Amino acid sequence: GENVEQHPSTLSVQEGDSAVIKCTYSDSASNYFPWYKQELGKRPQLIIDIRSNVGEKKDQRIAVTLNKTAKHFSLHITETQPEDSAVYFCAARFSGNTGKLIFGQGTTLQVKP
Amino acid sequence: KAGVTQTPRYLIKTRGQQVTLSCSPISGHRSVSWYQQTPGQGLQFLFEYFSETQRNKGNFPGRFSGRQFSNSRSEMNVSTLELGDSALYLCASSTGSTGELFFGEGSRLTVL
């Protein structure tokens, strides 16, 4: 079935360190992989996304890599800052251009000053 | 450009009642999707509407329903509320082609 596994569930790093969150997906036909950041009491906000025809994408301190063969993708945050503390969700779109995303369970990232 | 607007933001209901939640998408967006967020289950897809037609449906019981109007505004309804329906209900809109979803602030439903 349609499934996205996300690890770890919690991650604590020191300010300035890097953080990596990994996700695997079940359907090889998936073509779109967004990452959302959700701060406490706020809406999920898209921070970066990648499509299946691209292996890596960067945006300042954030990067996402995609390995289609292994069906996994990862979020990399470098030089972490306290304001990066939030819950991060990976997701995959399994069929066509629709609004249906399957989300991972989320990773609570804590960046200690 | 105004973002996705959801109303009401908070509501409290009792078991057995029904509830209707509203979502106004970003202007020009024709796709509206609904998600349920709970601490235990994370973000789960309920359904998607595109041009007034349900395009996709998640694995929720028939008590959960929705509709979309000609101006792309959408409503979702939950009938015969159960305690387990307590959650944050998020609406997301998109153009329907690019894939990027923009979420609203959500409607937090508490069922007593």
| pLDDT for the residue B40 | 80
A99–B31 C-beta distance less than 8 A? yes
B32–A45 C-beta distance less than 8 A? no
**In this predicted model, what pLDDT tens digit does every residue of A35-83 receive, in sequence order?**
999 999 899 999 999 988 889 999 999 999 999 999 999 999 999 999 9
**CA triple B77-B79-B82, angle to 5 deg:** 120
Q: Would an 8 Å CB–CB cutoff place A11 in contact with chain B?
A: no
For residues A26 and B2, the model is more confident at A26
Mean local confidence (pLDDT), B50-68: 94
Binding-site residues on chain B for chain A (CB distance < 8 A): 31-33, 35, 42-45, 48, 50, 55-56, 58, 90, 92-94, 96-106
Cβ atoms of B3 and B91 within 8 Å: the answer is: no
| pLDDT for the residue A39 | 95
Instruction: List chain A residues with CB under 8 Å of B55.
Output: 98-99
Identify whether B61 is preceded by a cis peptide bond (ω within 30 of 0).
no
Confidence of residue A95 (pLDDT cuts 50, 70, 90): low
Q: What per-residue string of b and e applies to A13-28 under the rule 16 or more CB within 10 Å gives b?
A: beeeeebbbbbbbebe
Confidence of residue A96 (pLDDT cuts 50, 70, 90): low
| pLDDT for the residue B75 | 98
Q: How many residues does chain A have?
A: 113
Instruction: List chain A residues with CB under 8 Å of B102.
Output: 46
Cβ atoms of B91 and B104 within 8 Å: the answer is: yes
Distance CA A30, CA A12 (A): 30
Mean local confidence (pLDDT), B43-49: 94
| pLDDT for the residue A28 | 81
Token readout for A24 is: 């695997």
